[in-house]
Amino acid sequence: MNAIVQGFPIFLLIFCRITAFFVVAPVFSSRGVPNTFKIGLGFFISLIVFLTYGIKQTIVPDAGYILVLLRELLVGVLMGYAVYLFFTVVQTAGAFMDLQVGFAMANIVDPHTGTSAPLLGNFKYMLLIVVFLMMNGHHYMLKGLMDSYEWMPLSNELFSRLMSGSVTDYLTRLVGNTFLLSVQIAAPLVVAMFLADVGLGFLTKTAPQFNVFVIGIPLKLLIGILLLILLMPGLAGIFDKLFAIMFESLEQLFGIIQGPPEG
């Protein structure tokens, strides 16, 4: 009984970080995943981490324990948010594509988040999740979450890093990089649609009798769908590179908060 009383504060800290990660991280945070499963998975992973790492730790549950609890929640949310940003890349790219092709007026409800999402963005997001699960990305994500205790122990320096501005600087650069990646993914189709608009503009000038609005909308739809079909085979390589950048960014976050593991 004494061991349970001493170990419970450590277990609670581990549980807070892991469940906070599941609340924000893609795939696990989906509305299609039952809350019971999320809590159960968080509990068992926390138990594994506690038995391998937390059993060696000691903490005094005094008034400062609340701040330590809040710090662990923030660490979990930061890690989940860093991963989530890379999954929004394809949705942002899809929004750019929809705007150019003409699908922007047909936004749909994303069943994973319950919010309105662009048509092509939602399609690419579904493909991204399928590729992510096929390459066992969720296993790597869970492994990274469990390994985070080697990089960011329970006695981490998150608050001091927040005060120094290094975490804010990291998040700002991360948002900028993900936006740049979404523009790069959408670039081929956006440029093609721009050239189609230029061609329709020349057509209007040379042959004013053609109604550009009647011709332009179906023409851009056909060109957009054809280009999307041609670009589909290259999506797997793009997604693979995206995941590699995602895990590198997660490692950067570990290094910013605490630094590399000792030994």
| Chain centre distance of CA 70 | 22
Segment 142-191, tens digit of pLDDT: 888 888 888 787 777 778 888 888 888 989 999 999 999 999 888 888 88
pLDDT for position 263 = 43
Q: Which helix or strand (DSSP H or E) is residue 117 part of?
A: strand 116-117
Q: Distance of CA 132 to CAs 59, 109, 247, 249, Å?
A: 37, 22, 12, 17
pLDDT for position 219 = 83
Q: Is the pLDDT of residue 215 over 60?
A: yes
Average pLDDT over residues 22-51: 85
Question: Amino acid identity, residue 24?
Answer: V
Segment 103-122, tens digit of pLDDT: 666 666 666 666 666 777 77
154 closest CA partner among 257, 224, 230, 246: 257
pLDDT for position 174 = 92
